[in-house]
Amino acid sequence: MPRRRRPAGSADVSAAHAPLQARVELLLPDWIDGAVDRERRYVGDEDKVALAVELSRRNIEVGSGGPFGAAVFDHDGRVIGVGVNRVVPQTCSVAHAEMMAFMTAQTALGRYRLNETGAMTLATSAQPCCMCYGASFWAGIDTLLIGARSEDVMALTEFDEGPLPADWIGELERRGIAVRRDLHRDAARDVLRRYGESGVAY
């Protein structure tokens, strides 16, 4: 997403003299609980990505963030954590859908390596950007399921997905992470298109 540069000398002087922040809090929108069936088993890969795409759609319809959704599932297909893009509402550049899903899942399980006791899957409405791609190596997932491609994101919106290795899928697979993409790609592209045409930046 294009960055706006602050004019030279316009730094917030009061912030410079305030105490350093000792706590960081990121919140998902209030509607999340009602959008996820915690009792359901999302068995198929398509079902998992469908949830991620639905979260992305709901996020832009409500106006609670950007057009991206993600969810972490355990080996039984149960939802462990979810995320939507919250960069603008939370004033935090790392609050991407995948990062939020990782963090909520890690908090729920009480560990930073998600797959210590069983296989874990990340389903995302669109191909991870370079930041979320890197986090995928360390979060502890065994499968990555993707809806829209990065070229879809950049063609339909103003988001910049950043650089990835030429063989980015191979890099994941060599570390034991299976990759499937183009699941519900058309539906994911439709969300991106609607967001891009709205002219609104969340």
> For 104-133, how does the pLDDT look when each residue is reduced to its tens digit (9 = 90+)?
999 999 999 999 999 999 999 999 999 999
Mean pLDDT of all residues in 46-65: 98
pLDDT of residue 200: 81
Tokens of 132: 């979320």
User: Rounded to an integer, what distance in angstroms lies between the CA atom of residue 176 and that of residue 181?
Assistant: 16
> How would residue 15 be classed by pLDDT, with cut points 50, 70 and 90?
low
Backbone angles phi, psi at 177, to 5 degrees: -110, 110
Q: Kindly name the residue from 98, 116, 151, 197 that is annotated as catalytic.
A: 98
**What pLDDT is stored for residue 14 in this prediction?**
62
More confident of the two residues 110 and 11: 110
Residue 98 designated active-site: yes
Give the type of residue at 8: A
Tell me the C-alpha distance between 68 and 161, whole Å: 12
Q: Write down the pLDDT at residue 201.
A: 77
Q: Report, as an integer, the average pLDDT of 22-35.
A: 95
The CATH fold of domain 31-197: Cytidine Deaminase; domain 2 (3.40.140)
Name, in order, each residue with C-beta under 8 angstroms of 37's C-beta and a sequence gap of 6 or more: 79
HEC per residue, the chain: CCCCCCCCCCCCHHHHHCCCCCCCCCCCCCCHHHHCCCCCCCCCHHHHHHHHHHHHHHHHHHCCCCCCEEEEECCCCCEEEEEECCHHHHCCCCCCHHHHHHHHHHHHHCCCCHHHCCCCEEEEEECCCHHHHHHHHHHCCCEEEEEECHHHHHHHCCCCCCCCCCCHHHHHHCCCCEEECCCCHHHHHHHHHHHHHHCCCC
Q: Where are the domains of the chain?
A: 31-197
